[in-house]
Chain A
Amino acid sequence: KQEVTQIPAALSVPEGENLVLNCSFTDSAIYNLQWFRQDPGKGLTSLLLIQSSQREQTSGRLNASLDKSSGRSTLYIAASQPGDSATYLCAVPPHSGGSNYKLTFGKGTLLTVNP
């Protein structure tokens, strides 16, 4: 059974700081890994999707890396801004076995960027 863990659960940084969010998963047989952002009481916004064959993906100030063999992904946010404050979630679909449809989510990292 796939389990996804995100560390830290919460993070507070001053504006302008570079930061790293961590995501680990127990079953390395994945098709891809997706990072989402969720503002309080809102839906999820897809940030980046990394295919299992890729090592990293970049979008603006965001860079996500994937080390499938070790079951880890990181989301790097450069020059953080107060508008980056949100909960960041990672999720993986199964590659085989059991449910073929279930995205398994971590509990998220609550990020606060202080002005």
Chain B
Amino acid sequence: ETGVTQTPRHLVMGMTNKKSLKCEQHLGHNAMYWYKQSAKKPLELMFVYSLEERVENNSVPSRFSPECPNSSHLFLHLHTLQPEDSALYLCASSQDLPNTEAFFGQGTRLTVV
């Protein structure tokens, strides 16, 4: 248990569906992150929030829409996805920016059909 909880653990969705991934951290951290992990590729940073403000958008397509209502919760809203978006989506948090230790959730395995 890392203190970062992601739901759902698995998600299968059609290309016309709208779904959301949820992340919650119980560590009192200020920064939260979304990463994408595809097969055979290093983890790719998608979004960063610091104190509920988005501070980084790493050229992510608009079909991915993040939301951070408070410092403990982070969402990733999905719509009109493509099969190549199928991947493991990981949420992470840290006390501040990446200079401090990062803690990851168990991930959501997303399959787009």
Where the two chains meet, the residues of A that have a C-beta atom closer than 8 Å to any C-beta of B are 4, 31-32, 34, 36, 41-46, 49, 89, 91, 93-94, 99-108
* B104 and A36 contact, CB distance less than 8 A: yes
A44-B90, A45-B2, A46-B2 as given contacts; A103 in contact with B106, CB under 8 Å? no
Bin chain B's interface residue count: 20 to 34
Query: What are 20 residue pairs bridging A and B, where the CB atoms are less than 8 Å apart in the complex?
Result: A4-B42, A31-B99, A34-B101, A41-B88, A41-B109, A42-B107, A43-B104, A43-B107, A44-B104, A93-B98, A99-B45, A99-B56, A100-B97, A101-B31, A101-B33, A102-B58, A105-B42, A106-B42, A107-B41, A107-B42
The 4 A-B residue pairs with the shortest CB-CB distance in the complex, in nearest-first order = A93-B98, A44-B104, A43-B106, A101-B48
CA distance A41 to B109 in the complex (A): 7
* Interface residue? B6 (CB, 8 A): yes
* B45 and A101 contact, CB distance less than 8 A: yes
Contacts of B48 in A (CB 8 A): 101-102
Contacts of A34 in B (CB 8 A): 101-102
Contacts of A89 in B (CB 8 A): 43
B54 vs chain A, min Cβ distance (A): 11
Question: Which of B4, B98, B106, B109 has a CB less than 8 Å from the CB of A101?
Answer: B98
* B98 and A103 contact, CB distance less than 8 A: yes
Q: For residue A92, which residue of chain B has the nearest CB? A: B98
Q: For residue A107, which residue of chain B has the nearest CB? A: B42
CA distance A108 to B98 in the complex (A): 19
A101-B48, A101-B55, A101-B56 as given contacts; A42 in contact with B97, CB under 8 Å? no
A109 vs chain B, min Cβ distance (A): 13
Contacts of A36 in B (CB 8 A): 104
* Interface residue? B105 (CB, 8 A): yes
